[in-house]
């Protein structure tokens, strides 16, 4: 069950310009959280900004009761959040999200992410590593200045492919291009994905067309995190045009079987 706690900011790190990692002490949330969960953060004690901000969980340190989040400054709320200092208490609710990444009994999986969408993928990679599941990881960024966490992901997989849209670092192209190149050789049993919508659409189409299991994490505006505000609706695949049906990402997701959602 989600709970509201005051989590101490025990470590603050700047990843690159405009992107920060917070390590938060929140034992009760960490103990029940799973890969793919997220938290809702109250930005300030003032009424502006009023709404909480949803941020995916990047890493769970179960032994020490620490959860890590990484976020990008995108507006007033995240700019205020970035000013928090080590020792501050931050009001969070979590773990949130019924739909989470699941490993099942796979022997070999692919993990693919783009830009800031790579952050929630680290925990599923970590769990795969713990369970001796072979992995291929495909991360794509716009350019070399935006490449992040290469060493951290590389420590947990023997097959890490980094690409940039403009070719300014490592491979030139999109992550899915390199996943497709490797699929015949690697025979991945499931694809785990998070990133911008065009990437997720391409991953879904590829997985469905080739009958490959695929789990995707969607990033929508989730003001409440509990399915009350109805602001994070996504259309169910194959629902009638006349009476379309919708999932609410915060409650049914944020992780879905790719074949179940329509972009």
Per-residue pLDDT tens digits for 161-194: 999 999 999 999 999 999 999 999 999 999 999 9
Ordered per-residue pLDDT tens for the chain, 263 residues: 899 999 999 999 999 999 999 999 999 999 999 999 999 999 988 777 888 899 999 999 999 999 999 999 999 999 999 999 999 999 999 999 988 999 989 999 999 999 999 999 999 999 999 999 999 999 999 999 999 999 999 999 999 999 999 999 999 999 999 999 999 999 999 999 999 999 999 999 999 999 999 999 997 665 565 556 656 788 888 888 778 888 888 778 899 999 999 88
Asked if 86 and 20 touch (Cβ cutoff 8 Å), the reply is no
The C-alpha atoms of residue 165 and residue 171 are separated, in whole angstroms, by: 9
* Residues paired with 253 in a beta bridge: none
The C-alpha atoms of residue 237 and residue 165 are separated, in whole angstroms, by: 30
| Dihedral in degrees, nearest 10, Cα atoms 219, 221, 225, 226 | -110
Q: Where are the alpha helices (DSSP H) in the chain?
A: 27-32, 76-81, 121-130, 150-154, 175-186, 197-209, 249-252
What length is written for the chain? 263
257 sits in which H/E element: strand 255-257
SS (H, E, C) 6-48: EEEEEEEEEEECCEEEEEEECHHHHHHCCCCCEEEECCCCCCC
Asked if 149 and 118 touch (Cβ cutoff 8 Å), the reply is yes
pLDDT for position 225: 55
Q: Which domains does the chain carry? A: 3-96 (2.40.30.10), 108-260 (3.40.50.80)
Q: Which residues contact 146 (CB under 8 A, 6 or more apart)?
A: 16, 115
pLDDT for position 226: 58
The C-alpha atoms of residue 79 and residue 75 are separated, in whole angstroms, by: 6
The C-alpha atoms of residue 51 and residue 74 are separated, in whole angstroms, by: 15
Strand pairing category for 89-96 and 38-41? antiparallel
Burial class (CB in 10 A: 0-12, 13-18, 19+), 244: exposed
Q: What are phi and psi of 14, to 5 degrees?
A: -95, 120
The C-alpha atoms of residue 91 and residue 59 are separated, in whole angstroms, by: 18
The C-alpha atoms of residue 122 and residue 44 are separated, in whole angstroms, by: 28
pLDDT for position 84: 96
* Gyration radius of the chain over CA positions: 18
Longest dimension (CA), the chain: 55
pLDDT for position 230: 59
- pTM to 2 decimals? 0.94
Per-residue pLDDT tens digits for 209-247: 999 999 999 976 655 655 566 567 888 888 887 788 888
Q: What are phi and psi of 139, to 5 degrees?
A: -120, 135
């Amino acid at each position: 069950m989600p709970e509201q706690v005051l989590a101490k900011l025990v470590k603050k790190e700047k990843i690159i310009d405009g992107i920060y990692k917070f390590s938060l002490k929140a034992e009760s949330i960490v103990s029940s959280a799973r890969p793919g969960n997220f938290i809702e953060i109250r930005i300030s004690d003032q009424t502006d900004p009023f709404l909480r901000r949803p941020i995916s969980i990047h890493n769970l340190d179960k032994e020490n009761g620490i959860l890590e989040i990484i976020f990008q400054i995108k507006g007033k709320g995240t700019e205020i959040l970035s000013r928090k200092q080590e020792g501050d208490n931050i009001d969070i609710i979590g773990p949130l999200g019924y739909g989470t990444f699941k490993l099942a009994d796979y022997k070999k999986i692919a993990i693919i992410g783009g830009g800031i969408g790579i952050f929630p993928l680290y925990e599923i990679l970590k769990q795969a590593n713990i369970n001796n599941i072979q992995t291929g990881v495909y991360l794509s960024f716009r350019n070399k200045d935006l490449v992040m966490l290469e060493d951290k992901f590389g420590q947990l997989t023997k097959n890490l492919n980094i690409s940039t849209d403009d070719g300014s670092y490592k491979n030139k192209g999109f992550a899915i291009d390199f996943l497709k190149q490797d699929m015949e050789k690697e025979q991945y049993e499931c694809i785990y994905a998070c990133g911008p919508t065009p990437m997720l659409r391409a991953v879904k189409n590829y997985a469905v067309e080739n009958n490959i299991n695929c789990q995707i994490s969607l990033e929508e505006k989730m003001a409440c995190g509990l399915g009350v505000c109805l602001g994070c609706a996504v259309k169910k695949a194959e629902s009638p045009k006349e009476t379309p049906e919708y999932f609410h990402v915060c409650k049914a997701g944020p992780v879905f079987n790719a074949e179940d959602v329509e972009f």
